Structure 1
């Protein structure tokens, strides 16, 4: 059955893309003909442009198979979105225009003195690639924002690497085809809607993507001898390999300059030296998370690092160019031929760090998040310590392996050799040449110490740019609790005052939002403290502020009003919990529906259990001790630590505005306790919200029914309007079809044996409440993974490996039951 279903799905997929299916058949049919009759077509030949749609030259069956798979996968995917007619038109135009344009340019440049341009005209042209790039990018332009940007970024990285490294005609044809596809996608799909808060994040992503492409191109070019692109000349800095015997032969020629250059080149092409030369790019990779989050420290580090790379590349280019230009009898020993030297291409790597510096400085406003006070001073101290540690390692390794060096070194000689290899250009100016090694062990000893400072910088950079502290906004002169009392923040608003939350205050000072800044997200705690009239503006202002801080704004556990605002912006909203609310005024525990509640009240009266209101401060010490003991015992029965964030513990009881309703018997034994947070609106308390619930093992069994019923009656007698029984996480009645909703339902079912969310939800329905859906709102679907990570860390910030193992064991055991 499964095989028949898979076959049926494949047939339906092929039927949905008739043009691509016919195209794939032509590729298969033309295999033998192309191998025997058509030679590989160079860029300068404009004959048979449409024939070039089929792979040409002597190619392997695996290559043809890959082409067919791409046509049937990418091609049909694009055809389904564009329609067959548009797909064919865009494919033909993209293929033809890219080949014609690149052919004309290559002919014009073939007569220039630049070697790359002459070789470029002889490189192979594109086959099916231009067609697929044009149609694929055009189809991506019709998808939602996340898919569109991800496809364009991935294609951009690939083309940036291929154009700068390989540098062949087909790579530039693919680049032109992508441009045609972008234009076609815009013409068909219309203008791209502007992201409400994501423009800064998108700009940072493009900068980070560009740097990643540069790093990838540089690394690939180190060893790709057949590449001819602009960055291919990077390999000239690494490819030479000179043995000690060759150095002796060069030095015996009597030319001191050639001897020094040969020794320098030997040290610069060893494995350790290659790793050392690549370390700055590793440091740059460690800066990328900070750049994406708007960290100013990462931007400063990038500028300084690229300046170092610029200086080092300029010195290396001048040195290598001098080796190729210096021609005497030593040239034969080194195997250097000026006729095939790198020429001006060698200076291309100098331009790259200049461009990176220019872009970062130009877009400096994208990186406003400053490090905490004193961070730069600590950074300087740590880097200096790394340099000193490197010197110690260099001296120790040199003395330990001194028998493998060309001379017996002293401590001072080893320190000086270490210094001239970590300071760019100093080796060329030094009157004393670098130490030489007799074998691999000697080279290891000389290179080991120079790697230590870079390793320290990598570690420091990662900590600095990924663990930035998000502080409260500047308007802290306006007390957040005053705002909360004045305008309210929904039924769960009081939990925003808990100590682990940061606070943002609007520019007007009339609204505020509590949030957790971690994992690259600004995770809000329930609804904003804002009037209904200002809700949209406050959410927008906070979202833009979060983006400036390098954080993704995520609104968690918000009610319908805030979710509707987010939807109007085009955000994605997912139901994450259901709140149960009792409207006060005419509540009477009569009828069959309240049988359990009346039974609990009657049993409490018979057993002498009474409910008493108090605060943590006013509670007798004996009562507080019992509450702490009950709570501790309850937590010990759980496979995980006590959860926080929107679930209060004993610490949250110590608040003069939080009421405790405690069930005690005639002996003052506590059987159960509940806490109730105030709900404010227009400066008045209009309701209460249940938070803390604990019962004594072996005590009065229906104590929770008894306490909640007493709280409802007391609040109603007080004239309050609403009593919230709080939310049940991962339990939702919202009709939200889709994979995400299914995943949340499955997760809720799997966690039920551990946390009992569904059981808690069913228990609260004993009081016949109405329900309100609580939502998670994110700018894009792609942000849901970040939101899940931020929420899990907020609830369990100190989850250990042991706790994780306990949770896994409990889930495994429950799944078997």
Structure 2
């Protein structure tokens, strides 16, 4: 292409010093945000200081037991008449660990309440719920002592201090002023958490916390700023899965609470003894369980240790906890396997509950030195309570089962079963062979048939096998090792195999193939970035009637939609809403990425969040002459190409000879090798995208026939016709001359102008912001997520040069069109960020990651 354009002196470049100024603005903004955070929670930091000062003053920080002086309880508060302990118990931590937890809870949890309610209301909530929880708890305990209820009489002498009572009560109060999503999430997790502590620990302060949280609910409704009536809202599939998974995960903490606890005041506390590994003394066992000792817990310690001797059995006792955690992960992802696993574990725990009744019965028969034994009614209540958590979990899972319908591929599930069956047979066979080879070393005496029957018990947690009848003691080292570790080894295999199974995604049946999507794209158009949606890795999705479509990429549970929906203008919102239902059914978080401002009203109507993520540069071809001083650098590149005999060739991959395609591959590989950085994808095309028959190439061919550089151009359709083109791929040979890319883009723009294209898009620049005119008023410093994006742009600049590329496109004096991203909730941003990173860099080697880290480390 020949262009007789006169030469002019290139205009002076400006803006080279903008980066340091931008950094100063970002640091300044960060300081302002931190100052604002401190100003908004003064009461929370004050209470953290009060907790620390109280711990020092009362000397509980140094190991002193000050609960008798400052603590609340039936004997201390009611009988002793020390009513001021209701307040001091909210300020004095119990020990150094409690002091740290109280300070952290004050800053994080009480801070959240203060930011939601305001300082005065947060202080009111802390005092009101804390005093109410303590007073009502002590009152109920005192009433229990009048009837000689076992727990009340056992705990009446306790004096407790606990600042978390008021902290959790204030947080419960604040949920009344939160949005529906976080109000529901925090309440479910908070109530489940405190209830688990009541059931598995049973200390009086756990009971006070529960009452404080319950008191915060009506107080929060009274203090909330919005006076609209509260209503029960239905949860989406994803939200229901999140809540159910959270509940199951919290219930898994229960056995650990019993393990770390120091009380026998609940029917769940017996589980703590299963983790003890001291040897059983037969004489002490007989004396503890049949003598007249003042303490019954010694008997319970000895009985529980019978079935849990050795480190392998201790590890096996933790299996239900691990499996519930694994089930919670599966439930969160909407997997039916996670649902079945949660049902199975809770069913096993429920069936094993009768095994705990013998322990409970021993508590009731022995009594204590101070209080009377259980009566029959109390024993029945404790037996029912022991089954409360697994039974409630099963009811919840059954009622919500329809939300967990994502099945793993059948082939993957068959492999999972084969791995489990093989592992079980190998490990059970090893136990059996070892026991038969040293049969006389097992006590009590066991027959060969008994060995076969006993082998499966090696895989069952010890507390699921109640009673001493299941106790065998191998005295041979090999047999003992096999009996100890066969069970933990099997469950380790189970966990690894289950994680693999949960990572297998079912192949979704796409209603229409890519060609159907392309046909609709040609007919309806999809915006200037629409052709990117046809690339490998994007999955086409269609509305029920087939008249609307879009393309998405599922990454770690995030369904990233690129560009605008492909449909008639009046069907945009309907198409988006249908896709949201589709995402909800598959437990995905929908994200719309790189769309233009025309879609913003739709997402604002949905109540979504949105933010700018880049700028698209567009050259309108009407009246394009490239005349004037501001086009000097572009004309210089064109004139230089003419002098040196360089030509521009408009072609396609299929039209090129083999030698030319080989040269293009070499240019691309040289670029990758030179940069040593992982090549990005998603919205940045590669060699495979050049082979698309709809894509055109503009080549810079030297006088000797070498290809010096190339660009690729994607069609923009409307009503079945190509109306514009969008720049994608840009590569230049290492030995090419400066100005070759300006030559290619200018040549393409002039060629497409002659071909009748309305505009030429130079594509979007990620994390870019359009330049501010010289006569415009200065903008305020970036805040919040905008400041973060600005920092991220500066960080990635040394590696990928997004800012440099954006400034290069400014040479063509384009019109700027902002690209946006929309998402349902700010809390999903970290996961969305990780998903976008995976989409852009799906395959990164360790070496590339190290190189990228070194490049980013040199950004200053």
Shift, 1:109, TM fit: 3.9
Which residue number in structure 2 is paired with residue 288 of structure 1?
Answer: 328
In structure 1, C-alpha distance between the alignment counterparts of 2:138 and 2:559, rounded to whole Å: 51
Which residue number in structure 2 is paired with residue 334 of structure 1?
Answer: none
In structure 2, C-alpha distance between the alignment counterparts of 1:65 and 1:617, rounded to whole Å: 69
Q: 1:694 aligns with which of 703, 711, 731?
A: 731
In structure 2, C-alpha distance between the alignment counterparts of 1:365 and 1:22, rounded to whole Å: 45
In structure 2, C-alpha distance between the alignment counterparts of 1:317 and 1:196, rounded to whole Å: 39
CA 1:377–1:161: 2 relative to 1, 3 Å? same
In structure 1, C-alpha distance between the alignment counterparts of 2:267 and 2:732, rounded to whole Å: 72
Which residue number in structure 2 is paired with residue 361 of structure 1?
Answer: 398
CA 1:96–1:811: 2 relative to 1, 3 Å? closer
Q: 1:769 aligns with which of 814, 830, 850?
A: 814
Which residue number in structure 2 is paired with residue 256 of structure 1?
Answer: none
After TM superposition, list the pairs within 5 Å mapping 1:422-437 onto structure 2: 422=459, 435-437=472-474
Shift, 1:177, TM fit: 2.3
Q: 1:217 aligns with which of 254, 260, 283?
A: 254
Q: How many pairs are equivalent?
A: 792
Shift, 1:323, TM fit: 8.1
Which residue number in structure 1 is paired with residue 427 of structure 2?
Answer: 390
Which residue number in structure 2 is paired with residue 778 of structure 1?
Answer: 823
Shift, 1:790, TM fit: 0.6
Q: Secondary structure at the match of 2:564?
A: coil
Q: 2:356 aligns with which of 305, 317, 321?
A: 317
CA 1:210–1:511: 2 relative to 1, 3 Å? same
After TM superposition, list the pairs within 5 Å mapping 1:640-655 onto structure 2: 640-655=677-692
Post-superposition CA distance 1:528-575 (Å, at most 9, x none): 223332222322322232122111111222222234432343333232
Which residue number in structure 2 is paired with residue 272 of structure 1?
Answer: 312
In structure 2, C-alpha distance between the alignment counterparts of 1:131 and 1:807, rounded to whole Å: 48
Q: Which runs of 5+ in 1 are unaligned?
A: 254-261, 328-336
Q: 1:162 aligns with which of 177, 197, 202?
A: 197
Does structure 2 conserve the Cα–Cα contact (< 8 Å) formed by 1:404 and 1:437?
yes
Which residue number in structure 2 is paired with residue 115 of structure 1?
Answer: 150
Post-superposition CA distance 1:470-527 (Å, at most 9, x none): 6255566992222222222211111111121122222232222211212121122222
Shift, 1:793, TM fit: 0.9
In structure 1, C-alpha distance between the alignment counterparts of 2:385 and 2:439, rounded to whole Å: 39
After TM superposition, list the pairs within 5 Å mapping 1:68-87 onto structure 2: 78=113, 81-83=116-118, 86-87=121-122
Worse overlay, 651-660 or 730-739: 730-739
Which residue number in structure 2 is paired with residue 705 of structure 1?
Answer: 742
Does structure 1 conserve the Cα–Cα contact (< 8 Å) formed by 2:252 and 2:321?
yes
The alignment status of 1:189 with 2:225, answered yes or no, reads yes
Which residue number in structure 2 is paired with residue 94 of structure 1?
Answer: 129
Worse overlay, 18-27 or 96-105: 18-27
Shift, 1:39, TM fit: 6.4
Which residue number in structure 2 is paired with residue 259 of structure 1?
Answer: none
After TM superposition, list the pairs within 5 Å mapping 1:81-480 onto structure 2: 81-83=116-118, 86-87=121-122, 89-110=124-145, 115-124=150-159, 128-143=163-178, 151-152=186-187, 155-156=190-191, 158-187=193-222, 188-190=224-226, 199-226=236-263, 228-235=265-272, 237=274, 243=280, 266-314=306-354, 316-317=355-356, 343-344=379-380, 345=382, 348-394=385-431, 406=443, 416-422=453-459, 435-438=472-475, 443-469=480-506, 471=508, 473-474=510-511, 479-480=516-517
Using CA pairs below 8 Å that are at least 6 residues apart, which structure has the higher relative contact order? 2
Q: 1:634 aligns with which of 629, 649, 671?
A: 671
Does structure 1 conserve the Cα–Cα contact (< 8 Å) formed by 2:460 and 2:487?
no
Worse overlay, 558-567 or 89-98: 89-98
Worse overlay, 103-112 or 367-376: 103-112
Normalized against structure 1, the TM-score is what? Answer: 0.84
Shift, 1:747, TM fit: 2.2
Does structure 1 conserve the Cα–Cα contact (< 8 Å) formed by 2:649 and 2:700?
yes
Which residue number in structure 2 is paired with residue 52 of structure 1?
Answer: 86
Q: 1:719 aligns with which of 749, 756, 759?
A: 756
Which residue number in structure 1 is paired with residue 646 of structure 2?
Answer: 609
Q: Secondary structure at the match of 1:225?
A: coil
Does structure 1 conserve the Cα–Cα contact (< 8 Å) formed by 2:72 and 2:89?
no
After TM superposition, list the pairs within 5 Å mapping 1:729-768 onto structure 2: 729-733=766-770, 737-768=782-813
In structure 1, C-alpha distance between the alignment counterparts of 2:791 and 2:444, rounded to whole Å: 69
After TM superposition, list the pairs within 5 Å mapping 1:538-549 onto structure 2: 538-549=575-586
Which residue number in structure 1 is paired with residue 73 of structure 2?
Answer: 42
Worse overlay, 234-243 or 542-551: 234-243
The alignment status of 1:800 with 2:845, answered yes or no, reads yes
CA 1:595–1:384: 2 relative to 1, 3 Å? same
In structure 2, C-alpha distance between the alignment counterparts of 1:57 and 1:738, rounded to whole Å: 37
Does structure 1 conserve the Cα–Cα contact (< 8 Å) formed by 2:313 and 2:462?
no
Q: 1:658 aligns with which of 695, 702, 716?
A: 695
Shift, 1:90, TM fit: 3.9
Which residue number in structure 2 is paired with residue 579 of structure 1?
Answer: 616
The alignment status of 1:524 with 2:566, answered yes or no, reads no
Worse overlay, 665-674 or 409-418: 409-418
Q: Secondary structure at the match of 2:324?
A: helix
Shift, 1:641, TM fit: 2.6
In structure 1, C-alpha distance between the alignment counterparts of 2:554 and 2:141, rounded to whole Å: 53
In structure 1, C-alpha distance between the alignment counterparts of 2:312 and 2:738, rounded to whole Å: 71
CA 1:570–1:100: 2 relative to 1, 3 Å? same
In structure 1, C-alpha distance between the alignment counterparts of 2:49 and 2:737, rounded to whole Å: 77
Shift, 1:614, TM fit: 1.8
CA 1:755–1:402: 2 relative to 1, 3 Å? farther
Shift, 1:159, TM fit: 1.3
In structure 1, C-alpha distance between the alignment counterparts of 2:91 and 2:598, rounded to whole Å: 64
In structure 1, C-alpha distance between the alignment counterparts of 2:168 and 2:313, rounded to whole Å: 39
CA 1:391–1:83: 2 relative to 1, 3 Å? closer
Worse overlay, 602-611 or 266-275: 266-275
Q: 2:715 aligns with which of 678, 682, 701?
A: 678
CA 1:588–1:377: 2 relative to 1, 3 Å? same
Shift, 1:753, TM fit: 2.1
Which residue number in structure 2 is paired with residue 258 of structure 1?
Answer: none
Does structure 1 conserve the Cα–Cα contact (< 8 Å) formed by 2:43 and 2:123?
no
Q: Secondary structure at the match of 1:637?
A: helix
Does structure 2 conserve the Cα–Cα contact (< 8 Å) formed by 1:52 and 1:126?
no
CA 1:68–1:482: 2 relative to 1, 3 Å? closer
Normalized against structure 2, the TM-score is what? Answer: 0.80
In structure 2, C-alpha distance between the alignment counterparts of 1:411 and 1:614, rounded to whole Å: 82
Does structure 2 conserve the Cα–Cα contact (< 8 Å) formed by 1:389 and 1:452?
no
In structure 2, C-alpha distance between the alignment counterparts of 1:120 and 1:351, rounded to whole Å: 22
Q: Secondary structure at the match of 2:655?
A: coil
Post-superposition CA distance 1:313-333 (Å, at most 9, x none): 44x336657988999xxxxxx
Q: Secondary structure at the match of 1:490?
A: coil
CA 1:624–1:559: 2 relative to 1, 3 Å? same
In structure 2, C-alpha distance between the alignment counterparts of 1:550 and 1:57, rounded to whole Å: 43
CA 1:80–1:516: 2 relative to 1, 3 Å? closer
CA 1:172–1:562: 2 relative to 1, 3 Å? farther
Q: Which runs of 5+ in 2 are unaligned?
A: 1-27, 60-64, 291-301, 367-371, 772-778
